Structure 1
């Protein structure tokens, strides 16, 4: 039996909430707050995130958000912005990427602004997005991939209950230009959740 679906026909909620967070699809106009967060966090993001190689302009951040909005509407990538539910402060970005709708496989990516790190926000967001993918999108597999040297990102995956499946050796070029390894964590229906 095939579960093939045209993703454009899916009704996917554009927001979810956790105890402290509002996690929602990108909207036009989000570029300013995202740009501010990237500039604040450039040194921490640079080793791991290609978009942090150079400081983006506010216009570049807005362009990225508008493209992310269109991808969300097409359901080709489900970018999500994370906000503090109480204060409205922008915290970071996450979302579901490398989507395979046929087998319902997704990868969660994330980054956080420096002033909000160390408070458990990203782990809370990953748990919320994982639940969302299971409940709303009928996920069969959810992955987190990170540079093997990115200890903080790996710790988020482990705190969220993802299992290390393996390490891809020399499969990526780090922002420094050197070859590096990728850790692959996953949760799979029937093993880590029902």
Structure 2
């Protein structure tokens, strides 16, 4: 099976969100959301350690577009259907097409946090992975200190499988523990 040959829908919806693949030109909206949210993203996201330029954001979007087309990473942008505002970003990462394993990552812009958008997106993306991509395993990984991220996984029905101690370095270079949540075909769905 060659992943590049897969026909994958580029957009889908939840009750409040349009969830779609990144497109050329999306960099300005992403840049605005990242700049607004930099203080909240910085502790958790290695890519949020400095203010990105418009060009850097557009380069990131264009890379994501190419990766989506190659099926090597499926970055998805989250838009409020009513206002058209970019709410955040998510996607399916660290893909193993042979075993049909995917990892959901996510972040929300500060002005849209604590409104349930990310939980809604995670549930919709989980359904997309199950129904469109025949996922056998879906993971959410987060720093054990990132309680907001862990709560999203729990609210979305993911099971905490374990905590990998001193598994990775945080954004300041210190060792951190990583929580691994999952949903597995035949168990949770």
**Structure-2-length-normalised TM-score:** 0.99
CA separation in 1, counterparts of 2:6 and 2:186?
24
CA separation in 2, counterparts of 1:175 and 1:164?
23
Unaligned 5+ residue runs, structure 1? none
Q: Provide the secondary structure at the position in 1 that maps to 2:166.
A: strand
Aligned runs of 1:109-148 on 2, under 5 Å?
A: 109-148=105-144
What residue number does 1:49 align with? 45
CA separation in 2, counterparts of 1:57 and 1:172?
28
Report the alpha carbon displacement of residue 55 of structure 1 after superposing the two structures with TM: 0.7
Report the alpha carbon displacement of residue 176 of structure 1 after superposing the two structures with TM: 1.9
What residue number does 2:62 align with? 66
Report the alpha carbon displacement of residue 84 of structure 1 after superposing the two structures with TM: 0.1
CA separation in 2, counterparts of 1:100 and 1:177?
28
What residue number does 1:180 align with? 176
Report the alpha carbon displacement of residue 145 of structure 1 after superposing the two structures with TM: 0.2
* Residues 1:27 and 2:34 aligned together: no
Q: Provide the secondary structure at the position in 2 that maps to 1:177.
A: coil
Of the three residues 13, 18, 21, the one matched with 1:17 is 13
What residue number does 1:163 align with? 159
Report the alpha carbon displacement of residue 71 of structure 1 after superposing the two structures with TM: 0.2
After the TM superposition, which segments of 4 or more aligned residues of structure 1 sit over 6 Å from their partners?
none
Calculate the aligned-residue CA RMSD, in Å: 0.4
Unaligned 5+ residue runs, structure 2? none
Report the alpha carbon displacement of residue 177 of structure 1 after superposing the two structures with TM: 1.8
Of the three residues 74, 77, 94, the one matched with 2:73 is 77
- Note the alpha carbon deviations across 1:45-104, whole angstroms, 9 max, x for none: 000001110111010000000000000000000000000011100000000000000010
Equivalenced residue count is 189
CA separation in 2, counterparts of 1:81 and 1:63?
15
- Note the alpha carbon deviations across 1:144-171, whole angstroms, 9 max, x for none: 0000000000000000000000101101
**Structure-1-length-normalised TM-score:** 0.97
